């Protein structure tokens, strides 16, 4: 056993003396640095989406989903971009595709709920809020108090949008893209 420990210690010291690079930390959430995707169309689409350049986002993300039709996040962002451009029919289709690929895509659920509010379909938006509540419950264990609403942005945003709609159905739905 001592020989094993000595060999392990020698290996560690040898790595340190050879100038081995230090361990890098991996963070979650906003602490992690964003790295540009290796898919240039997707990277361009995300950048345009973040800048609210809807025509550029639609162009880039359309290329992504044509090449990679299984990309649920690209479909969700494409749906949002189409909706912001006024094309609700294609927007609803894109959200549907995102959710058919990944029924737990919280961004797609939130965005589709907002689209339903834009179209006066408050009942459908409330159904999506229930789906979001169920999905957010799955991640509740990551929060010390167990209250998912503290960490489920999509639920909070759609819930607020529904409440605002119920106060004034004629007011435009306030909808901001989530950071990708």
Q: Which domains does the chain have, with CATH numbers?
A: 39-167 (1.25.40.10)
Tell which residue, 48, 106, 50, 99, has the closest CA to residue 75: 99
How distant, in Å, are the alpha carbons of 56, 111, 138 from that of 174?
Answer: 22, 11, 27
Q: What is the pLDDT of residues 10-58, one digit of tens each?
A: 544 444 445 544 545 555 555 556 666 678 899 999 999 999 999 999 9
Percent of the chain with pLDDT over 90: 60
* pLDDT tier at 137, thresholds 50, 70, 90: confident
Tell which residue, 91, 165, 81, 85, has the closest CA to residue 129: 165
Q: Is the pLDDT of residue 4 over 50?
A: no
Dig out the tokens for 139 from the structure: 């991640």
Cβ–Cβ < 8 Å for 60, 71: no
* pLDDT tier at 176, thresholds 50, 70, 90: confident
Dig out the tokens for 176 from the structure: 């901001």
pLDDT averaged over the chain? 82
Exposure string for 153-167, b = 16+ CB within 10 A, e = fewer: ebbbbbbebbeebee
- pTM for this prediction: 0.76
Cβ–Cβ < 8 Å for 139, 148: yes
How distant, in Å, are the alpha carbons of 104, 170, 177, 178 from that of 61?
Answer: 20, 31, 15, 16
Report, as an integer, the average pLDDT of 166-178. 84
Phi-psi region of 145 (alpha: psi -120 to 50; beta: other; left: phi over 0): alpha
pLDDT attached to residue 6: 53
Q: Is the pLDDT of residue 59 over 80?
A: yes
d(CA 133, CA 25): 32
pLDDT attached to residue 180: 64
* pLDDT tier at 9, thresholds 50, 70, 90: very low
DSSP letter assigned to residue 171: S
d(CA 37, CA 30): 17
């Amino acid at each position: 056993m001592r020989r094993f420990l000595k060999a392990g210690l020698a290996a560690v010291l040898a790595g340190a003396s050879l100038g081995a690079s230090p361990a890098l930390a991996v963070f979650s959430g906003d602490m992690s640095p964003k790295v540009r995707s290796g898919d240039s169309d997707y990277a361009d689409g995300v950048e345009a989406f973040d800048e609210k350049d809807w025509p550029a986002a639609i162009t880039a993300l359309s290329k992504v989903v044509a090449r990679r039709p299984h990309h649920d996040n690209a479909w969700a962002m494409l749906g949002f971009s189409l909706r912001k451009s006024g094309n609700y029919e294609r927007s609803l289709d894109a959200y549907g595709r995102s959710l058919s690929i990944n029924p737990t895509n919280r961004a797609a659920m939130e965005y589709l709920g907002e689209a339903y509010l834009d179209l006066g379909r408050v009942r459908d938006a409330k159904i999506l809020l229930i789906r979001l509540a169920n999905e957010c419950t799955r991640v509740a264990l990551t929060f010390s108090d167990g209250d998912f609403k503290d960490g489920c942005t999509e639920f909070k945003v759609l819930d607020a949008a529904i409440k605002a709609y119920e106060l004034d159905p004629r007011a435009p739905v306030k909808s901001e893209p989530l950071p990708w």
